[in-house]
Structure 1
Amino acid sequence: MSCSKPSNTPSPGDVLVVDNAGRDDEACVSDLITLEVRHSGLSGIVIWGLHRDTSELCVIRLPVVSQGALPRGPATTRRAGTGRARLRAIWDHLVTGDDFVLADDGVLCLPLDRAADIAEPASRIRDTERRQTARMNLGDSLRDQARFSGCLAVRAGWHDVPPVPPFHRRSS
């Protein structure tokens, strides 16, 4: 087993190591990443953080070691008042009859009156990921779909750019 910097040409037997700083508020590896890793010939994934899409990972049959599963992927920073519905993990939320509850890798509670607002973008994400998976199964790697080589080329030119500060949760 060997670990190295990000590469567009991994060696068979390598393992993808994902450092998400042990975060427990988001999953950083999904079925798409796992399928890409399998197609690229890597032997598995080790995550300092969480994964999602556990049912799909079982079908892909690639060893994935993480700190656990959570259905939420990485969140982007949004300004207040964007009108986006908020998803909350059940341990942060008192579930009532006004909630729509979903379970797979974990449990999510959505305000029932916002379920339609949430379902439309969630369906778009699901459909996009299914198209990406289908393309991957036909040989079009996720790296190619995401133009990963171009990202590496741009990143190589960032020698003097200071690192982005880590994400810190605001206390309320």
Structure 2
Amino acid sequence: MARHFATLTTPHVADACLRLGLPVRCAPAGLRPVLPGTRLAGRVLPVRHTGSVDVFLEAFETAAPGDVLVIDNGGRTDEACAGDLAVLEARAAGVAGVVIWGLHRDTADIRAIGLPVISLGAVPTGPQRLDPSPADALESAEVGEWTVGRSDLVLADDDGVLFVPDADAARLLDTAAGIRDTERAQADRIRAGVTLREQVAFRRYLERRRENPSLTFREHLRTVGGEIEV
């Protein structure tokens, strides 16, 4: 799956979700990689953080190679819930990367480690609390409006973080690859002098819309083979 995603982007996969009628489960836009150019793909290893690092260590006990630690810290911006030691331990456990619905710290050390880390940003202070741990602390994690677990995959790049069900991953990535190829061909034609308006017969669309004001651009695109999903 990671190899398949290596030639795609999260926008390709998001467009594939739309094409297949599946929810587009994007993490909030504020999540960004510590190192620009980061790419990440793997099964969700969920954990709910309540103020102590031991929950990460417990999660690593059951981690499979290539898993992605997804930390639910409630989107808090008053504390960092993971630093360089947690990231080093994640690498030692075979984890492919870390996604934090919250903040990190030890930015310079994390960059030196090189393991992909995606978070809402950094702050110097760690937790100054210890809340009761929920019974499902290792079963699911909330990231923005989405609840994810071991049956989900996480895909991430510079455009953001996307969660997809494992059961739908193969057809999503296949559809995404088709969208990618068509868009690349369209881009090549623009560079060769054929405008996008020409490629999608935009004047014909305007004429058809005058006759049928309810016609949408997406409906028109389906008749000309366009892959624009916006």
Q: Which has the larger radius of gyration?
A: 2
Q: TM-score, normalised by structure 1?
A: 0.43
Higher relative contact order (CA 8 A, sep 6+): 2
Greater per-residue strand proportion = 2
